[in-house]
Amino acid sequence: MAAETWLQVVRDLSNFIGDADGFRAWLFTIARHRAIDAARAAAARPHVLIPEVPDGSVGAVASAESEALDRMSTDRALELVATLPTEQAEMVMLRVVAGLDVAVVARIVGRTPGAVRVAVHRGLRSLSRNPQAYEAEVV
């Protein structure tokens, strides 16, 4: 309603004659008329809210088993990242898990982008060489 009111004010401003008090009254008259029009339109065409029904295109709900396995693998990944030195683990989490850009991670940790890239690369390489990383897959 506010947008429609201002549109009408701009459209009809050249026809307005009067002082500041007259302008204020004119503006509120237009706003009142827009509010009355909106109320009439809502009464004539009421909105009926219905719950959103998922369509068949949405993937099936994951089973409890798959959710538990995902959670276990996430927990395991976090445990493995925690074996890295603290600063390196933080950069890996920010870069890989949070998906932040190198420049953003560099600003957060107070390092250069090059130092972040090297630390993340070394951290991921260290994790890939960790034999404990494969225990969960074998079991």
pLDDT of the residue at 59: 57
Domain ranges of the chain: 2-44, 64-138
Q: What is the pLDDT of residues 30-82, one digit of tens each?
A: 888 888 888 888 888 877 767 776 665 555 566 777 776 677 777 777 888 88
State how far the Cα of 30 lies from the Cα of 77, in Å rounded to an integer. Answer: 62
State how far the Cα of 106 lies from the Cα of 109, in Å rounded to an integer. Answer: 5
Q: What is the sign, positive or negative, of the torsion defined by CA atoms of 86, 87, 90, 96?
A: negative
Contact predicate 18/26, CB 8 Å: yes
Q: What is the pLDDT of residues 93-126, one digit of tens each?
A: 888 878 888 998 898 889 999 999 999 999 989 8
CATH top class, domain 64-138: mainly alpha
Contact predicate 1/9, CB 8 Å: no
pLDDT of the residue at 98: 80
